[in-house]
Structure 1
Amino acid sequence: MRFLTRGLLGIMLLTLTVGLLGMAGRTVYLAASAEQGGFGGRGENEERIFAVNVGTLTSETVRPIISSYGVIESWRTLELRTAVGGTVTEMADAFRDGGRVQAGDILVQVDRANAETALSLAKTERAEAKAEVTEADAALELAQDELATSEAQRDLRRRALARQEDLRSRGAGTEAAVETAELALSSAEQTLVGRRQALAQAQARINRAAIALERTAIQLSEAERDLSDTVILAPFTGLLSDVTAVPGGLLTTNEQIATLIDPEALEVAFRISNAQFARLVATGQPLEGTEVTATLLLEDIPLVVAGVVDRVDAEVGEGQTGRLLFARLDPEGSRALRPGDFTEVRILEPELAAVSVIPATAANTDGEILLIGEGDRLEMATVRILRRQGNDLIVGDVPFGREYVAERVPQLGAGVKVRPVRPDDGFEESAVIELTPERRALLVAAVEGNSQMPEEVRQRLIARLSEDRVPADMVARIESRMAEADVAAMDGGETLTLEPERRERLAAFVRSSAGMPEDVKARLLSQLEAEEVPRGMVERLESRMGG
């Protein structure tokens, strides 16, 4: 009993092992068949060949482009402020955000009552000052006359004293008369001193009146200026922003009521690296005047404005690197720009000669590229990367005339065999045909199912197959590869016996296939004439026949 149990267990394990081995073998067979299913497939022991896009290294002279980003500014921007306070009585219709005003336009009118009152008081004070000057002039003339009279009186008293002294010396006069004459002379001289003091005071009065008159003239000018400051005029033509004043609002002195921007005085401020700045000035030519372009995207519509470098910032800001440049923009082309717009700025560098432009995907960070060598095998080469321009590289020290791989992938390396796909591998447009919907669908399915084809080539072929008239050469090439794949997939496998009508229908279809190579036709017809025909071949042919 124990022997029987062990024997059954061994038989069961053997059966299970054989079944698993059979499943594994079938899986391997199906995988090999699936790998050969697409057209252009390779045998199990064949070397894998990669299709690669290639380009040719040509010698060029190019001007690299420095790309940066900048902000639009207006070098003529004015803050409009009130010189005097008061209530807003009038305001221009254009005095609002975005309003355009012309030079000399009246923007805001402040209440003039206080300013007019101050002006009237200043005029009155000036009239009083003028009257004071006139009165001082008259007082001076009077003081001068009084001084002259006093001097004459003194001279008269002096002669009278001399006469009395002469009479006394001859004994005809008395001492009392002489003393009386002396007292009269002394009184006249004292009066003369008083008159001179009055004259000095009159002259000082004139000076004070002149000063007062000048002061009132200043006050009058200030009052007139205050009156004119109640009207705010546009100093230049421009656009208004940050408007805060409203009719009836109360303004204070030096209050900002708006900002006036000149839209025709725009410039772009952008920063470039020190290396880029060094390349621009390395030629010794002045940087001012170098042409630039500023690009602004408006709903995916690029607005390109030309300009020239105007100046370089005088200092490097704290925590900043590189150099800040200012470029003056063309007034005609910059009408749609506004201060604050964020734009892309491009500036041309000096020319680079004997260089080549390749896609950035063609080289790694060390400048290594893959060249097409003898027998379509890859060779490694190293170039010098001079500039990076978007998705392109400007390289030097390259073997001009050689073909290179335009897009490197990890599977590619030196010694790998490839199938170059060149940009000019197009199809002749002279021979075109119209496809039936069934035939078009088969061609599109074959292209989509080819895993070896680069995505760019696949999309280009599908786009051409979608057209009403398709190049005949392209159709022939695709059908030829389809046929080769069919033959590889049809060989071996299950077979079946065909009825005469079915066999003839399949043979007629093969003979009428214009895109099928003759050797493939002969091979298929030979297999169709056999008694046992591969089932896979019959199914492939009937699927293309629509049966």
Structure 2
Amino acid sequence: MRFVMRSLTGLVLFALAAGLIANGVWRLSLARQEAAEAPAPRGPSAERVFAVEVAIPRRQDVAPTLTAYGEIVSARRLELRPALAGRLSELSPAFVDGGAVRAGELLFRLDPADAESALRRAEIALAETETDRLASIRTAELAEMDLEASEERVRLQQQALDRQRGLAERLVGSTAAVETAELNLAVARQTRIDAQQALSAARTASEMNATALRRARLELDDARRALADTEVRAPFDGLLSAPAAVLGRQVAANEKLGDLIDPTRLEAAVRVSNAEYARLLDDAGGLRELSAEVRLELGELDAAAPARLVRAAAATGEARTGRTLFLRLDAAAGDLFREGDFVAAQIREPVLEGVAVIPAAASDEDGRVLVVDADDRLRERQVRILRRTGETLTVAEAPFGERMVTIRKPQLGAGARARIVATGEEALRAAEAAGQPVPGGVSNLAAPSGEEMLLLSPERAEALRDRVRASDLAPAERDRLLDRLQTQRAPRGLVERLEGEQAPATSGG
């Protein structure tokens, strides 16, 4: 039994050893096979060439537009408020929201009964005051006459005293007669003083009556004005807004019953940033009077009205930054525009001279663009961004006459080799005129103007179109070339580039 167990153990160990040896042989054979199939080591890698689209910046004068948003307001607006409390006894049929009224038209009237009674009382009070005034004038005249008589009596008594004194000095008159004359003079003088006091009192009463007369006339004017204030008429042609008047309603003084808006004095109040506001100033720091256009979307109707920049708001408002500008619309704009409409305004800025308009994708945020030099390598140029309008930039100091990359991709950088895959005819003409080599191949197939035209057979034209379809051109450039090859005439340069060096020297099929 012991012999059998030992034999089985030895057999198991032998089997394990054989399996391990077989696995090692299999792995070794597999490694040799992979090593034999591995490719040979590569040499130095080729330089990478980037496909780019280019354009030649063109010097031009640009009149940029500033787009701003805001709402329509009226520069002439009146709140309709009664000056007196009372009951609404009459109401205009046009006193509804949106009702059109003419200047001088009656809007509403308060019950005038109380105002008419007050007017009659003021007229009666004025008549009484005028009577008192006339009486005081006559009293003053009588007092003046009494004073004149007193003056005359004093003069006569003075003469009598002087005569008695003369007689006494000549020993003809008596002392008693002189004393009597002196006493009479004193009485006359006292009478004159009384007359002066009466005249002063009469004149004071007359002046007081004159003051009372002016007061009565003022009260009469107030009564007349109060009666007139029972009627409220339109001071100008306009449209009614937010009416709150009902016939027979009792209203309080100065209660708001609606608004009157002048549709011929509409303005667009738009908001701009500080930088945008600075572009609208002249050399002296004043706001330019620029033309503009205000647009309003009314469903499928896109309404537009000419306008002009008239002023800026006096304060920055709650935003505490930027400026609010007011654009005066034409008088006819009131037919479509209404106060409160949300509008877009395009303000025409002063013309920028000697600038270029380039795609926004051609520049980074710092204003750096890439150009392709004569060796087909990318070089960096710095431009000065003046305006950003949608997908375009208006720049100064642009690389005029150079082939500028229109889409600056992240992998592009200065010094990299480029291959132009799309460009315009203008770009190629400018490059050739400057003596710069135009890369060959299907990617640059525009022909300069004035180049000799070849007459192509239908088979040859179809073969050229097949070559264009099989090229790696951008879709837009491929479609442009296919359109040019739809006829039987094509530029010689275009045909030679497509056919390589196999193009015949003469025209024909």
Residue type at the aligned position of 2:208: R
Q: How does 1:415-494 map to 2 (within 5 A)?
A: 415-417=417-419, 419-420=421-422, 422=424, 473=485
Q: So what's the TM-score if we normalise by structure 2?
A: 0.66
**Quick check: 1:265 aligned with 2:260?**
no
Q: 1 CA distance for matches of 2:66 and 2:397?
A: 22
Q: Residues 276 and 173 from structure 1, CA distance in 2 versus in 1: closer, same or farther, beyond 3 angstroms?
A: closer
Q: Which deviates the most, 156-165 or 260-269?
A: 156-165
The CA deviation string for residues 15-68 of structure 1, in whole angstroms up to 9 with x for no partner, is 9x99xx9xxx9xxxxxxxxxxxxxxxxxxx999988765433222222333333
Residue type at the aligned position of 2:112: R
The CA deviation string for residues 112-144 of structure 1, in whole angstroms up to 9 with x for no partner, is 111111111100000001111222233334445
Q: 2 CA distance for matches of 1:419 and 1:115?
A: 90
Q: Residues 400 and 224 from structure 1, CA distance in 2 versus in 1: closer, same or farther, beyond 3 angstroms?
A: same
Name the residue aligned to 2:378. Answer: 379
Report how far residue 247 of structure 1 moved.
2.0
Q: 2 CA distance for matches of 1:98 and 1:263?
A: 11
Unaligned runs of 5+ in 1: 26-44, 434-446, 462-469, 477-547
**Quick check: 1:56 aligned with 2:56?**
yes
Q: 1 CA distance for matches of 2:362 and 2:300?
A: 29
Q: Residues 169 and 321 from structure 1, CA distance in 2 versus in 1: closer, same or farther, beyond 3 angstroms?
A: closer
Q: Residues 474 and 169 from structure 1, CA distance in 2 versus in 1: closer, same or farther, beyond 3 angstroms?
A: closer
Residue type at the aligned position of 1:265: R
Structure 1 SS opposite 2:398: coil
Q: How does 1:511-530 map to 2 (within 5 A)?
A: none
Q: 1 CA distance for matches of 2:236 and 2:270?
A: 27
Name the residue aligned to 2:71. Answer: 71
Structure 1 SS opposite 2:364: coil
The CA deviation string for residues 472-530 of structure 1, in whole angstroms up to 9 with x for no partner, is 95799xxxxxxxxxxxxxxxxxxxxxxxxxxxxxxxxxxxxxxxxxxxxxxxxxxxxxx
Residue type at the aligned position of 2:71: V
Name the residue aligned to 1:123. Answer: 123
Structure 2 SS opposite 1:297: strand
Q: 2 CA distance for matches of 1:98 and 1:296?
A: 19
Name the residue aligned to 1:308. Answer: 308
Name the residue aligned to 1:327. Answer: 327
Residue type at the aligned position of 1:384: V
Report how far residue 200 of structure 1 moved.
3.0
Q: Residues 373 and 107 from structure 1, CA distance in 2 versus in 1: closer, same or farther, beyond 3 angstroms?
A: same
Residue type at the aligned position of 2:380: A
Report how far residue 391 of structure 1 moved.
1.0
Unaligned runs of 5+ in 2: 1-10, 38-44, 427-444, 447-454, 459-468, 489-509
Structure 1 SS opposite 2:399: coil
Q: Residues 248 and 4 from structure 1, CA distance in 2 versus in 1: closer, same or farther, beyond 3 angstroms?
A: farther
Q: Residues 212 and 408 from structure 1, CA distance in 2 versus in 1: closer, same or farther, beyond 3 angstroms?
A: same
CA contact (8 A) 2:108 2:233 kept: yes
Report how far residue 265 of structure 1 moved.
1.8
The CA deviation string for residues 343-367 of structure 1, in whole angstroms up to 9 with x for no partner, is 3333333433333212112222243
Name the residue aligned to 1:290. Answer: 290
Q: Residues 168 and 306 from structure 1, CA distance in 2 versus in 1: closer, same or farther, beyond 3 angstroms?
A: closer
The CA deviation string for residues 297-325 of structure 1, in whole angstroms up to 9 with x for no partner, is 33364433323332344555576334443
Q: 2 CA distance for matches of 1:170 and 1:416?
A: 151
Name the residue aligned to 1:90. Answer: 90
Q: Residues 408 and 299 from structure 1, CA distance in 2 versus in 1: closer, same or farther, beyond 3 angstroms?
A: farther
**Quick check: 1:361 aligned with 2:372?**
no
Q: 1 CA distance for matches of 2:185 and 2:346?
A: 103
Name the residue aligned to 2:442. Answer: none
Q: How does 1:104-503 map to 2 (within 5 A)?
A: 104-144=104-144, 146-147=146-147, 190-191=190-191, 193-281=193-281, 283=283, 287-299=287-299, 301-314=301-314, 320-333=320-333, 335-371=335-371, 379-387=378-386, 388-410=388-410, 414-417=416-419, 419-420=421-422, 422=424, 473=485
Structure 2 SS opposite 1:255: coil
Q: Which deviates the most, 328-337 or 417-426?
A: 417-426
Q: Residues 186 and 359 from structure 1, CA distance in 2 versus in 1: closer, same or farther, beyond 3 angstroms?
A: closer
Q: How does 1:17-32 map to 2 (within 5 A)?
A: none
Q: 2 CA distance for matches of 1:145 and 1:285?
A: 76
Name the residue aligned to 1:518. Answer: none
Q: 1 CA distance for matches of 2:247 and 2:472?
A: 76
Residue type at the aligned position of 1:108: F
Report how far residue 246 of structure 1 moved.
2.5
Q: Residues 286 and 4 from structure 1, CA distance in 2 versus in 1: closer, same or farther, beyond 3 angstroms?
A: same
Report how far residue 471 of structure 1 moved.
6.5
CA contact (8 A) 2:51 2:418 kept: no
Structure 1 SS opposite 2:331: coil
Q: 2 CA distance for matches of 1:76 and 1:374?
A: 65
Q: 2 CA distance for matches of 1:421 and 1:286?
A: 44
Q: 2 CA distance for matches of 1:103 and 1:451?
A: 75
Q: Residues 411 and 14 from structure 1, CA distance in 2 versus in 1: closer, same or farther, beyond 3 angstroms?
A: farther
Q: 1 CA distance for matches of 2:419 and 2:181?
A: 149
CA contact (8 A) 1:52 1:454 kept: no
Residue type at the aligned position of 1:297: E
Q: 2 CA distance for matches of 1:349 and 1:454?
A: 37
CA contact (8 A) 1:49 1:418 kept: no
Name the residue aligned to 1:543. Answer: none
Residue type at the aligned position of 1:379: L
Report how far residue 263 of structure 1 moved.
1.9
Q: 1 CA distance for matches of 2:411 and 2:22?
A: 48
Q: Residues 162 and 233 from structure 1, CA distance in 2 versus in 1: closer, same or farther, beyond 3 angstroms?
A: same
Residue type at the aligned position of 1:381: E
Q: 1 CA distance for matches of 2:166 and 2:402?
A: 142
Structure 2 SS opposite 1:345: strand
Residue type at the aligned position of 2:422: P
Q: 1 CA distance for matches of 2:348 and 2:164?
A: 114
CA contact (8 A) 1:79 1:258 kept: yes
Q: 2 CA distance for matches of 1:221 and 1:155?
A: 51
Q: 1 CA distance for matches of 2:273 and 2:215?
A: 60
Structure 2 SS opposite 1:264: helix
Residue type at the aligned position of 2:299: E
CA contact (8 A) 2:422 2:477 kept: no
